[in-house]
Structure 1
């Protein structure tokens, strides 16, 4: 792509809008991330220093190892079923699952019982994951609906932030939906009246509300399955725990923020996750959401400092410095530790670490 020139997907979207009118933010996100020919995740590996962003599993093996030990203990508290589904949504390069399974080797019966399933829509990333998980028997599916039945432990790290949302803006005379339209053949944000939208009364004029219907639908489906068949779902993402609102749509390109309409299909698009909405969706489906924790508190409770100490023991000073930097990045309040939140959803009666046992009233 020549700098300043529209991307191939931008040209296609402009033609679509010219023919059919402005498109919702949700439709724009879906096209940018999942278009079979030009979608961001369909043809590239966006992770790591050579990509556009770095996720927690790529920062340090400690992240995936602790998640693996969490999964082992959760399985044991489930009664160590002889067969269960170990699933991951949006598995990236497969790094988290590979690190988790390596740590889980401490309990051989765990992997023997696990039916590993990865929920992935990208053909390119599926190939990367297969290489990373060589030696493990696993299956790949495209949707939560395709997961095998039975009790399950489900992982989702930076998954919900990439699911499409719709945006509504409160005006002096009511609500409008924020759309993607055209101005002089260039993509631009426009407003369309939304008289049927009933947003929160507390939102001030000019403010934006995001509706994450896709996220809530997936959470309800998974939580309902967990409530019926047993297990737990662990979601880790950046977002807020409370009554938040505002425009959180953002794009990342080469580790820098990018205008969301500037490079469709070339830049990552994400939104902040509303964890209270996810918890409410889980509760409505019969599962029990634990209190939301920050990623920092969660990892420290799982033993991040102890694992870092063992990993750095007798290592050169440069290695120990790198491990300390990784701990700070994963758990520090000025880094991922506070911005990223953790929501665990469990079947009724299951005491999941490191959360205190919760009840339906929690």
Structure 2
């Protein structure tokens, strides 16, 4: 699909930067309990069952281990949430059953005493590996500390799940990882029969319905999870992406904003919110720019492609200097990217256009 920006840069093709809704590269936001990821990130080669483990330990700015459980989030390089666990009482955590991929392990800031801690981990190979990491949290700048309005309530931390429900849930997760969504549905339903308020199972149930193109059933599962615990952020993200796919952008924006109010540390939520704001009948480019920029701040190099979305945003505003800056930022961060040469050529066309416009003004 190609798209021309008429009346803005008539001789510049931007088709390879057209802003697509994130559904094309998204895998449903997911959570996990008890250390097992509930959503398998992309990366395994077909026919090869590789199962890696990431184990780690969190250290406070003082160098001491935490005296309470801390939330740890696992994301893949596409930005989707692959898992969420809580450390034990001395800072240990583990993610199991991981396919070949590049992961980002994040300990979100408490908004009081420490900054968000993050480590990127690559796990590849024909044999299962266990990778050990340590995350040393950095003290939060005293001038920027804020007091949380309300304590974050986590579904994974608050629910005491019966063994039968957890067993069925784990079976469903394995089938979902194998893209066997119909079979996975049965086990998530079995899990919910044993424990009707099981939030992780409700979220996974909704994801299977999304994969099977059952939007009404998916929405019902996400809504039920949010009725039980409105502070469970993953159904908010999934609902937002569901609404985006249905072009219900106002509703999508509401869900992403709800997620960000609860927990501002999810780059994918900011990215999707920015794209939804750009997709409105009357786009809110200023807010969209802030959200996309926030995504880059949180996600760093793993979200370098967001510079392309910002490029599109500035082209649509006819702010070509800013558009060029986004391409330059992209090339600065990933000069050897597969599309780097295409981006360089695009940047040259943009700069040529800017020079032509400046010359025309002088005449």
Q: Bigger relative contact order, structure 1 or 2, given CA contacts below 8 A and separation 6+? A: 1
Q: TM-score, normalised by structure 2?
A: 0.26
Identify the structure with the greater strand proportion. 1
